[in-house]
Structure 1
């Protein structure tokens, strides 16, 4: 190898170090535009769901007036995610569904979930009826596919301890989707690392598309967080030790905590400074220092 390539390798290494173990307080729509191409190995994230939470932040994702605006915003963000992924990188996207508001313009909070309270409710989307299941996960997944992503797998996160619902005209929802999307036709996926026990319990088999993972409340947050076990499956399958894992909706920092515990680095972006502080506190237990940029 010619020695004149070494400066390039060193420069690339230094550039990647700039994006290791960083928590950025910013809007992902702006922050991602500052990241160079092909920086991250993978992304795992759970964006705010449409019309379900009010985080009292200007420009927050999920507060759009229509589902089309919501999907358009997310497609634009994940287009930047795709640009910043390496060519063999993947995206794990956790997203849940919701129902039309049925004409209700607000929703009261409750003791277990203060963030459930909302001063606004989006009107029933065009073409849908009151009480309709919107089908948001698949609307988003197909929009991402149309935008250039390879849609590789629809995984069901089955929550055996799901929240009860006071409904008597349909089953209680106990699942969400975790979509696997890739930047290219061929991509990094370590199937060996996420094999699961076979039915007889004596052997292991390729992971199936239904993942039974219990929800785990996080004491420091008053909003939904996805459990570490769910994120661990994604990170093990989509990255190697030393890789950088992106989460553009960092929230309470679960992606960062799991990344560090598995020998990976993280790059998290969070709009809400209050949530970023919660993430910082959690991350202090997994590393000596957390660098936050505003």
Structure 2
């Protein structure tokens, strides 16, 4: 029996995806375990490399099967296996994908490291099946933003559709927001930290709604079917429902499935997405605040 849309199905994603009709999904988003030892509810996130990569190739192949010919598959993954999963998706499955984009998600509240630079990014792969026929709503005003030339300088020559990406590196995106535009392949969104109002509390790896909003808006249309094989906290399906898409998810953990289902019941189509639509507004501009260095100088002067 085909899996019913509009709900989360609890169980192993591979077994459940076998019940999804071939060519029935418009957009799939997967944020799988990264195989880095994270403590999930029911999944052991420390597998042998070969076992982990074989498993990934299996569920990626199933996503290829269930996607429509014009469908899109977005994959979120860390550094450790980004290259391997890109190869698996484009070369090692029966119906290989075409990689259309490799986006870097840069976030604040990064992972603190002691013997390397702190990690503040993840990879977002955009895969398609047909390079002539796929959804990419580049003109959606909720996806694009005006160029700095138009906003800052009021230049009549500015392209009303936005500007081309820069090849310049900046250290603080909130101090140079014009260098982080929605059509660039370096995206700036804060992680959903434990103190955030958006945080659901029952899952430690929650994606920001605004990040999923960009992906769902650009790669699907209202009424399209959005699928997430690793539902987790339910963010993909929550955003899909808010944006008027049909949705379908699978989740190994009975508890995660239960709590994410409760989250979905409290959502109506058209509800606003959680989190700031302009990600730079989620952190203060140093020009309007006090830097740590300045604060320390004031403390020293007061002694």
The residue number in structure 1 matching 2:82 is 137
Q: C-alpha distance in 2, partners of 1:201/1:92?
A: 31
The residue number in structure 2 matching 1:63 is 46
The residue number in structure 1 matching 2:25 is 40
Q: How many residues align?
A: 231
Aligned 1:260-275 pairs, distance under 5 A: 260-275=241-256
The residue number in structure 1 matching 2:288 is none
The residue number in structure 1 matching 2:136 is 189
The residue number in structure 2 matching 1:11 is none
> Which runs of 5 or more residues in structure 2 are unaligned?
152-159, 165-182, 194-198, 270-303
User: C-alpha displacement at 1:240, in angstroms?
Assistant: 0.4
- The answer to whether the Cα contact below 8 Å between 2:31 and 2:77 also exists between their aligned partners in 1 is yes
Q: C-alpha distance in 2, partners of 1:228/1:78?
A: 23
Output the aligned Cα RMSD.
2.1
User: C-alpha displacement at 1:287, in angstroms?
Assistant: 4.3
Aligned 1:69-148 pairs, distance under 5 A: 69-97=51-79, 135-146=80-91, 147=93, 148=96
CA deviation profile, 1:198-251 (whole Å, cap 9, x unmatched): 233525246010000111232422411111111111101111001110000000
- The answer to whether the Cα contact below 8 Å between 1:47 and 1:249 also exists between their aligned partners in 2 is yes
The residue number in structure 2 matching 1:214 is 190
- The answer to whether the Cα contact below 8 Å between 1:195 and 1:205 also exists between their aligned partners in 2 is no
- The answer to whether the Cα contact below 8 Å between 1:26 and 1:269 also exists between their aligned partners in 2 is yes
Q: TM-score, normalised by structure 2?
A: 0.71
The one of the two structures with greater contact order (alpha-carbon pairs below 8 A, sep at least 6) is 1
User: C-alpha displacement at 1:52, in angstroms?
Assistant: 2.6
- The answer to whether the Cα contact below 8 Å between 2:37 and 2:44 also exists between their aligned partners in 1 is no
- The answer to whether the Cα contact below 8 Å between 2:21 and 2:66 also exists between their aligned partners in 1 is yes
Query: Which one of the candidate residues 10, 21, 35 is aligned to 2:6?
Result: 21
The residue number in structure 1 matching 2:98 is 150
Query: Which one of the candidate residues 107, 116, 119 is aligned to 1:159?
Result: 107
- Give the SS at the match of 2:111: coil
Q: C-alpha distance in 2, partners of 1:45/1:229?
A: 16
- Give the SS at the match of 1:160: strand
Q: C-alpha distance in 2, partners of 1:201/1:159?
A: 26
User: C-alpha displacement at 1:31, in angstroms?
Assistant: 0.3
Q: TM-score, normalised by structure 1?
A: 0.73
> Which runs of 5 or more residues in structure 1 are unaligned?
1-14, 98-134, 289-294
Q: C-alpha distance in 2, partners of 1:236/1:205?
A: 19
User: C-alpha displacement at 1:22, in angstroms?
Assistant: 1.8
- Give the SS at the match of 1:162: strand
User: C-alpha displacement at 1:142, in angstroms?
Assistant: 1.4
The residue number in structure 2 matching 1:118 is none
